[in-house]
Structure 1
Amino acid sequence: MRALRRSALAVLTVLALSACGAVTGEQGAVEQAPGAADLVEARDQLARRADLPTPTPTARPTASRPPTPKPGGSKTTNDASRLRTLPAGTTQVIVVKANGFGTSTGTLQAFSKRGGNWTPAFDSMPARLGTKGFKDSKVEGDLTTPTGVYSFGGTIYGIAGNPGVRYGYHKLVANDWWNENPATDGYNSFFHGADPGGASEALWETNPQYRYFAVINYNIPVREANPPRGSGIFLHVSVPGRSTAGCVALVESDLVKVLRWLDPAAKPRIVMAPASELDRY
């Protein structure tokens, strides 16, 4: 215990001397207190450390960012992009689809091709089909709409005047018929004159359906078949609440919009099929 007391006393003495700097000894000379050299050395070391360069903090790892996708890296997916058999020069396509083969209601979509991608030209439009829906092997009078890919006739027809189409336009007059008599040479074509017989349609009298219509080139040119493969497949004005005899029908305002959009220079095509079958085309 005495040794501890002496050691504590020595420490207190050193602290006091360091505060004053010096004491007077028996000889009157200024002497350094015991342990002062150690304190000086300690101070010198601290000073030297203060002159050292400050350590650079370790950089924190930064979170990696996902790579920015390259423009044009992926194509838009829609019903037009599913089609595989369109001619290379076709830049307009109409897709008419339904939920299955047996329904008379469906939708019509119009697409334009730009930069290799198909983009919608309009919002989807409600459409009416044949009373018995789609059919792969249509025949005359069966009330079905044929499936497949078809071009349009070079002339658009109508009881009303030209709504501003890019195709040729014929305003219907009396004795304008669509020949639907398979026993005649002009089967499945426009005819002006006396009634060709059979189920031929008096176009100028069929209102409102034929206020405007485009010819879908199904069975044009005619392919010989027994029974005949069918005739008079048009894109025309719909009658509220009614299906068609095999055509595709739209509300008049929608139809006019589509007819004005169609451009023969774009080599347009119409594709008709149940939604599940579009990949065939």
Structure 2
Amino acid sequence: MYALRRSAVALLATFALAACGTVPGGGETDAAPGTSPNPTASARDQLARRGDVPLPDRATRPTPTKTATASPKPKTTTPANDASRLRTLPSTTTQVIVVKASGYGTSNGTLQAFSKRNGAWTPAFGSMTAKLGTKGFKDSKIEGDLTTPTGVYGIGGTMYGIAGNPGVKYGYHKLVANDWWNENPATDGYNSFFHGADPGGASEALWETDPQYRYFAVINYNIPVRKADPPRGSGIFLHVMVPGRSTAGCVALAESDLVKVLRWLDPAAKPRIVMAPASELDRY
């Protein structure tokens, strides 16, 4: 009888191990040899392999990865140009000409033209070679000193020329005999256009001054005239350059460049011309 009970206990123990299918510590194991796998564990294992349920013992939670944040794009700024340095232009001005040189004592300069678009100054065309007065720029010009006056000035309402109108937006007068620019400080018409007999002094016979006055615009320096002793000067124009020669105080460009500028200028834009050494432009 004792032997019979002992066999029964051993048989029960074998059955319990075959039904569990696990080992201490939570790991999985194969079924005992000669026995069928636990159907519950097998089903759970198949579902886990399909991704339907997690396998708590083997599955590991994925490590979260940081999403790369794109660096903000650097702000772009419009490079400064000479027109953007100017501080005294009228708010209604949308065209400006900048004539500059490396200093006061040189007659070699450059001319740049700018248009204001959406509140910013942009070049109208490339920089142009210019000639100034023989003695360069001067802050306090006087009559006959061969200097170009510094400052900010308007453009006269009429353009002139020995040749016909090249297509400007301003009024245009084709010069004829006895058309003068009055440069005689002793007369009431000092520093203005005059048709008739020679006004005297250093007045210029405009119709005879070729090629300089083939086309020109008046720079409104000392217009209207301010009385001064000595007189402040007259006849400051934007005119045609004679290659290799400076001027008596005007600004000169190659003819093709000058025509381009004269056609571009628009009285509706209230244009201004600024003339100064490059280092002094911030004054204006």
| TM-score > 0.5, shorter chain as reference | yes
Q: CA deviation at 1:65?
A: 2.0
Distance 2:69 2:242 in 1: 60
2:176 to 163, 173, 176: 173
What whole-Å deviation, never above 9, does each CA across 1:98-127 have from its counterpart, x for those lacking one?
111111111100000111011110111110
What whole-Å deviation, never above 9, does each CA across 1:1-39 have from its counterpart, x for those lacking one?
xxxxxxxxxxxxxxxxxxxxxxxxx9xx99998xx7599
1:226 to 216, 229, 233: 229
Structure 1: gaps spanning 5 or more residues: 1-25
1:193 to 191, 196, 201: 196
Q: Number of paired residues?
A: 253
Give RMSD over aligned pairs: 2.7
Moved over 6 A (4+): 29-33
1:146 to 141, 144, 149: 149
Matches within 5 A, 1:53-92: 55-68=60-73, 74-92=77-95
Secondary structure of the 2:213 match is helix
Q: Which residue of 2 aligns with 1:214?
A: 217
TM-score, with normalisation over the residues of structure 1?
Answer: 0.82
Distance 2:70 2:275 in 1: 45
Q: Which residue of 2 aligns with 1:257?
A: 260
Q: Taking structure 1 as reference, are residues 56 and 154 closer, same or farther at Cα in structure 2, changes over 3 Å only?
A: farther
1:279 to 264, 272, 282: 282
TM-score, with normalisation over the residues of structure 2?
Answer: 0.81
Q: Which residue of 2 aligns with 1:266?
A: 269
Q: CA deviation at 1:40?
A: 3.1
* 1:230 partner amino acid: G
Structure 2: gaps spanning 5 or more residues: 1-6, 23-27, 30-37
Distance 2:181 2:174 in 1: 14
Percentage identity across paired residues of the two chains: 78
Equivalent pair of 1:92/1:269 in contact (CA under 8 Å): yes
Distance 2:165 2:103 in 1: 35
Q: CA deviation at 1:261?
A: 0.4
